[in-house]
Amino acid sequence: MYYLNTIRNIKRNKKNTFFMLLMALILTILVSPFPVKAIDIENDYIFFMPEHPAFTQSDVESNFTNYAERGATREIHTTGFATNVVGIVLDSVNGEALPTATILAVGSTSIEIFSDANGKFNIQNMPCDIYNWYISADGYRNAEYHNYSIDIGDTIIFTFFLNAHEEIHVNRNDFYRNERSVLPEDLLHSSIDFNNEVSRNMTSPPIVKANIRVLNNNNTITTVGRRDYLYAVVSSELYTENWYTQRGLSSAQVQQLYRAQALAANAFTEYACKVYSPHSALTADVCRTTCCQVYDPTKITTIAINAVNTIFENNGGTWNTALVMHRPTNSTYAYIWGAYFSSCGNQGTLAHAGQPALLAKICTDLTNGVGGHRKGLCQMGAAERAKNGNTGVQIINHYYTNCSLVTCTLG
């Protein structure tokens, strides 16, 4: 069993290994009356923070059985590929659930359903297709959500919003239109005030931000819990489980790929919060598009939920997360720019002058992707490594040099 706070890439003197381990064991017994608890991301332990508005822990564990009331549950009889879809309709201002809302999905066929007293609905065996969703309710302006695909795999969870005064229009494709921003190579020597010395010479694990400030397309800011933010990011940044299994990965290998993505996204998030963000002038940590990381809370997937949950834990009421950090020495911690991109075209990754953790790496893509800046984790390369049996931690250690997974408290 791999424990997060013992997975270290630290050079040790082999002659003193036995003595060091013996002393560590003695100190652990003397200092702590209980075993030290750490996040174990190599096993399928699921940790939950306060519940997501669209689902609960029991929903996930039961694969959303009895998710919605009978009148808000509809089974589609189809002979083609289909997936279970659940969702909730909420007031965009106060977050309250909206009962009797109309949900209309239009693809090659049209499916209509109504939300129950808790704002929930369940479409069982929904045919796989790309749909435009039309949401309406008495007392609210209409909302439209375009180009949302239903893919083969585990349950897909939708969260739709309605506003009493304004129509809502969301297009899934808009989240992918921007080029990924690249950390300036000369950041260390620029005039940007980001407290360089503190961020690169910490002597203990930092407290990480529990809430993330997301810049919306209209320049407003939405504050979202870190775990819920990562649910949406990981769901949006990778292809579906079925896409990878069709290319030779097992379900277990896809899960390791998703865990690597969750760790990379978590590191990227903290760097944007604490060190450098192109949106800091607007008091935002990140935006919603591929300029930073795609954050679209409308659609999240079960496999992403499970991957993200493995990097969080509740330790006696205190929430912790696993953060990839650069370890220049045994006693120092430094944030890393948790950069990632689609594919390197088998050319390998590139070093970043201002990031000692981002060195040039040999990389082979699973298949062709959409390219990218070639800094940090190559998603297609990570998929190939997962296919070859690498765990999520091993994938991270390949792309981020001299880094460790550090248990950090949320605050």
Q: In this predicted model, what pLDDT tens digit does every residue of 16-31 receive, in sequence order?
A: 444 444 444 333 333 3
CB-based burial of residue 245 (10 Å sphere; 0-12 exposed, 13-18 middle, 19+ buried)?
Answer: middle
Contact 160, 87 (CB under 8 A): yes
Q: Rounded mean pLDDT of 231-256?
A: 96
Distance CA 296, CA 216 (A): 10
Is residue 34 over pLDDT 50?
A: no
Query: Where along the chain do its domains lie?
Result: 57-172, 177-409
Would you state the structure tokens that stand for residue 316, as one six-digit string?
């006696």
Tell me the percentage of the chain whose pLDDT exceeds 90: 74
**What tens digit of pLDDT does each residue of 325-369 get?**
999 888 999 999 999 999 999 999 999 988 999 999 999 999 999
pLDDT of residue 57: 84
Tell me the percentage of the chain whose pLDDT exceeds 70: 84
**Domain 57-172 sits in which CATH superfamily?**
Carboxypeptidase-like, regulatory domain (2.60.40.1120)
Contact 348, 360 (CB under 8 A): yes
Is residue 172 over pLDDT 90?
A: yes
**What tens digit of pLDDT does each residue of 196-235 get?**
444 567 999 999 999 999 999 889 999 999 999 999 999 9
* Residue 180 confidence class, pLDDT cut points 50, 70, 90: confident
**What tens digit of pLDDT does each residue of 101-157 get?**
999 999 999 999 999 999 999 999 999 999 999 999 999 999 999 999 999 988 999
End-to-end CA, the chain? 28
Confidence (pTM): 0.85
Measured CA distances, 396 to 75, 356, 383 (Å): 41, 15, 12
Is residue 375 over pLDDT 90?
A: yes
CB-based burial of residue 148 (10 Å sphere; 0-12 exposed, 13-18 middle, 19+ buried)?
Answer: buried
